[in-house]
Structures are given as structure tokens and as C-alpha cells.
């Protein structure tokens, strides 16, 4: 008879955030993050920066973006693979992806491997066990269907995806992508990033980079009702660091800012 382990919602949030490398000391280099997440979705949306770069920045802070290209095209320790979505995956996980390629040959595309790596002699049960362990370590906690989806559907285990999968009661935060919502019906903006503080989601920001002028425009900065003014300096610092990472020369506020932050949020 198996034992059931019960944890609080706060403990569950902390486990998820830590597993995603979004808490604790910044990892030293790309590989701790890559091995924690196992895959990065290649999002074509480039309102601020490519999605996979934002995922890495949120864990590492400033990093050399050319290193990712080197791992893809010179070192070949990463490769691009299409299953449900275009992704960057680890070459060491090729046995997992090779199993999916065999199962769904018409839907499988590999773009950046010049030749197939040698596949270790693992049977299907061993590969499934390996994939399950990777998924659980990346997600922290998950339902069986979410474990399956980690390697077969949505390959972007960033915070937005984690939020959309996780029960709302865990976060108390209603997040959805509004890019495909008519402008008049959007609640927050076309491109919205959640703001994480500790294990709490305290707000969201709608940024847009004008690459011609180098201006990062904040089309809205929204605090949750329980997020106080004392968080404004940390939010401002995160926005400033994001601007530096994407090469913005200045920051402007072109939309609403929540009342508890409006007098304290300093951007320039």
C-alpha cells in the first residue's frame, strides 16, 4: 500500500517554482537550466524577444545569447525538433524523441541534426521511465496527463505554460494569452508577462519593444489586489534588467499602472 504525501498550496507553489529554476541562486551557466527544463519552445512571437530567450533570461539574468546558437549549430548538443510545436531539445534526450518519431513519423521533423545520433539500446519501458522522471523533475508536481504532455505536446515549460496547466486555486492567478483576443476584449494587452515574486504571482506587465527607436513601451503594469507598494522597486528593477537584456535604450509607460504602484514604479 503506497503512502500519500500531502503538501500545502504554498509548498506546492514553491516546489514548482524551484523545479523551474525560478527561485534560489541564479544557475551558473546554461546547462543547469537546460537540463532542468529539457525543452524550450521556439515561439515565433517576438514582441520583446524570442520566447526561448526570455525563458532563459528569467532564470539566468543576462547571458550570452550566442552561446545558445553555438550549442545548436557548432556543438550540436541541442537540436530543433518538431512534435506538437517547434522546440529546442537536448541531444542527450534523443532516445526519447526518437521513440516519438517512430510512433508519429509523419508529424516528426528534425531541422538541425546533420545525421542521426547513435541511439542507446533502451527498450520502450526504459525510455518512458526516463521521460517521466525528466518531466517530474522539471514540473515539480504534475498530474499524469501533464507528465505525458511535457514531451508530446506543449514543449514550453515556462511560467505562462505552467500557470495555464496548474489549477487556479494553486496560484490564485487567472492567466491567459490574449494575442488572439480582439483588442477591445483584452483585459491586459497583446503580449503579457506574469510577475513572480518569491512563490507569489504579484502582477503582470504588457511590454513592447520598438526596435527602430530602441524604446521599451509598457502598455500596462498591473498589480494583483494583494500586491503592495513595497514591491514596486523590485518590479521596476526587473523591468530595467529586461530592457538591458533586449538592448532597449529607454523605457516609457504608455498604458495604465495599478494604483498601488503608480507613485512608486520608477522607469526611465
pLDDT of residue 52: 94
Q: What is the mean pLDDT of the chain?
A: 85
pLDDT of residue 77: 92
Report residue 155's pLDDT band, with 50, 70 and 90 as the boundaries. very low
Name the residue among 191, 205, 262, 211 with its Cα closest to residue 238: 205
Least confident interval from 74-78, 98-102, 210-214: 98-102
pLDDT per residue as tens digits for the range 103-138? 766 655 655 665 666 766 778 888 889 888 998 898
DSSP states of 60-73: HSS--HHHHHHHHH
Across-strand partners of 65?
none
pLDDT of residue 114: 56
Amino acid at each position: 500500500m503506497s503512502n500519500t504525501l500531502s503538501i500545502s498550496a504554498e509548498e506546492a507553489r514553491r516546489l514548482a517554482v524551484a523545479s523551474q529554476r525560478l527561485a534560489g541562486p541564479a544557475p551558473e551557466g546554461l546547462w543547469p537550466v537546460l537540463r532542468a527544463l529539457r525543452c524550450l519552445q521556439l515561439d515565433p512571437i517576438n514582441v520583446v524577444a524570442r520566447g526561448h530567450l526570455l525563458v532563459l533570461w528569467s532564470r539566468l539574468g543576462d547571458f550570452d545569447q550566442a552561446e545558445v546558437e553555438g550549442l545548436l549549430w557548432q556543438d550540436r548538443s541541442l537540436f530543433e525538433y518538431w512534435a506538437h510545436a517547434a522546440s529546442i531539445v537536448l541531444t542527450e534526450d534523443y532516445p526519447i524523441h526518437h521513440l516519438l518519431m517512430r510512433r508519429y513519423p509523419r508529424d516528426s521533423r528534425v531541422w538541425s541534426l546533420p545525421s542521426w545520433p547513435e541511439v542507446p539500446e533502451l527498450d520502450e519501458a526504459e525510455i518512458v521511465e526516463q521521460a517521466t522522471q525528466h518531466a517530474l523533475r522539471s514540473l515539480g508536481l504534475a498530474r499524469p496527463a501533464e507528465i505525458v504532455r511535457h514531451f508530446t505536446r506543449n514543449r514550453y515549460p515556462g511560467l505562462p505554460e505552467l500557470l495555464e496547466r496548474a489549477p487556479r486555486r494553486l496560484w490564485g492567478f487567472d492567466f491567459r494569452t490574449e494575442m488572439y483576443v480582439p483588442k477591445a476584449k483584452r483585459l491586459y494587452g497583446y503580449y503579457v508577462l506574469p510577475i513572480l515574486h518569491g512563490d507569489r504571482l504579484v502582477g503582470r506587465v504588457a511590454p513592447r519593444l520598438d526596435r527602430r527607436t530602441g524604446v521599451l513601451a509598457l502598455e500596462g503594469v498591473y498589480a494583483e489586489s494583494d500586491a503592495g507598494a513595497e514591491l514596486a522597486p523590485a518590479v521596476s528593477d526587473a523591468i530595467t534588467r529586461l530592457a538591458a537584456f533586449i538592448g532597449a535604450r529607454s523605457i516609457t509607460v504608455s498604458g495604465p499602472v495599478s494604483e498601488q504602484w503608480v507613485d512608486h514604479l520608477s522607469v526611465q
